[in-house]
A and B are shown apart, each in its own frame.
Chain A
Amino acid sequence: GQQLNQSPQSMFIQEGEDVSMNCTSSSIFNTWLWYKQEPGEGPVLLIALYKAGELTSNGRLTAQFGITRKDSFLNISASIPSDVGIYFCAGPKYGNKLVFGAGTILRVKS
């Protein structure tokens, strides 16, 4: 079953607004990954987090590894139309097998 819970499931954002989404689990993860998937393509890695409390940025994107190691957050500042897509959190379980959340669908109103 789904081990990672993402919220919200989807959102509409006015261009220029900031976006926040999160991912939670009942299990501890040692790595948190955030991927973005655009229509017709495979997911692409945005940010990788390897340490509890870590805050990492990639341009307008900022992600944090929760202190409890059971959650992670992704923020997008000043959203633009090309931010549309599905954002997935993921983490390794049972070795190198990645489990994914169900995704947050981001739609931007231009």
Chain B
Amino acid sequence: NAGVTQTPKFRVLKTGQSMTLLCAQDMNHEYMYWYRQDPGMGLRLIHYSVGEGTTAKGEVPDGYNVSRLKKQNFLLGLESAAPSQTSVYFCASSYGGNSPLHFGNGTRLTVT
């Protein structure tokens, strides 16, 4: 029972490079989320999805794009990485409503 799996676990990018973070969940959850975690800031919502084929902006969406082509996968893309995007990224999923979020173990991204 894998839950929420994020790949990769670590990545270093140079400014201007692009990359995609992959999130997969095996719990048949409808809702999926991408958060970033920065020291002293808690977790801030980047984008989220309430179902396959749908996406919506969260609190800090600029510089990121997402896609939810399959129910179990939620991809986070950085088209042109910037040092301000150095962070730990967490994916989460839930059934929606008041159901709890299940988080992956994070991807630590450093942009130099």
Contact = CB atoms under 8 A, between A and B. Distances in A.
Contacts, number: 57
A33 B102 CA distance: 13
Interface in A2-50: 2, 4, 6, 9, 31, 33, 40-45, 48, 50
A99 interface: yes
Contact of A100 (B40, B42, B48, B106): B42
B97 to A, nearest CB: 7
B87 interface: no
B24 interface: no
B58 A97 contact: yes
Of B44, B58, B92, B98, which is in contact with the most chain A CB atoms at under 10 Å from its CB? B98
Given A42-B4, A43-B43, A98 B101 contact: yes
B42 A98 contact: no
A102 B44 CA distance: 10
Contacts of A42: 4, 90, 92, 103-106
